[in-house]
Amino acid sequence: MATAVGIRLNSNSRLLQGVTVPLLMLLLGVLLQLQAVAATKYTVYWSYPNYENYFSNWNRGSTYVVGDSIEFLYNAEAHNVVRVSNQQYDECSTNAEPVADGATVFSLNQPGMYFFMCTVPGHCEAGMKLQLRVI
Ligand SMILES: [Cu+2]
């Protein structure tokens, strides 16, 4: 495909020059789409929220795709993060071992729902929880 474009660019034919611009536009469109599906690393500043829906609102409008990752940045002396089940997320209760290294990355390597919470007492209830859908 790239070779065909090169030939057309080098041609002096008016007809082919007329074809070149739409072709370049098409190529540009393809490249932009490729960029859109490339893996993205999202960063969430994980802290005690000002209001209960803070992290739901943070998440609004984001589309996560398989291959993306999410990094939680936080004060490890005050918070932690752990991936939990839907029920644990709803109940803000888990016996899963949280990570508290201050910069925790989760790979979103499968489609489906992902649920995260901070296990410090009261934090999840205050809204320190995040759910996201990976397609
Ligand atoms: Cu916390």
Q: What is the whole-number distance in angstroms between the Cα of residue 129 and the centre of ligand 1?
A: 9
Ligand 1 is an ion; its neighbours by CB within 5 Å are: 79, 118, 120, 123, 128
Mean pLDDT of 54-68: 90
Q: What's the pLDDT at 61?
A: 79
pLDDT at 7 over 60: no
Q: In terms of pLDDT, which residue wins out, 135 or 15?
A: 135
Q: What is the whole-number distance in angstroms between the Cα of residue 54 and the centre of ligand 1?
A: 13
pLDDT at 1 over 50: no
Per-residue tokens: 76: 């490890």
Contact present, 86 and 100 (Cβ < 8 Å)? no
pLDDT band at 49 (very low <50, low <70, confident <90, very high): very high
HSE-CB for 98 with a 13 A CA cutoff: 23
Predicted TM-score (pTM) of this structure: 0.73
The distance from CA 13 to its chain's CA centroid, rounded to whole angstroms, is: 46
**Over the stretch 87-115, which tens digit does the pLDDT of each residue have?**
999 999 999 999 999 999 999 999 999 99
Q: What is the whole-number distance in angstroms between the Cα of residue 120 and the centre of ligand 1?
A: 5
Q: What is the whole-number distance in angstroms between the Cα of residue 121 and the centre of ligand 1?
A: 8
Q: What's the pLDDT at 60?
A: 81
Q: What is the whole-number distance in angstroms between the Cα of residue 46 and the centre of ligand 1?
A: 8
Q: What's the pLDDT at 93?
A: 98
Number of other CB atoms surrounding residue 37 within 10 Å:
10
pLDDT at 11 over 60: no
Q: What's the pLDDT at 68?
A: 97
Q: What is the whole-number distance in angstroms between the Cα of residue 42 and the centre of ligand 1?
A: 19
pLDDT band at 26 (very low <50, low <70, confident <90, very high): low
**103 beta partners:** 73
Q: What is the whole-number distance in angstroms between the Cα of residue 119 and the centre of ligand 1?
A: 7
Minimal CA–CA distance to 58: which of 68, 66, 46, 67?
46
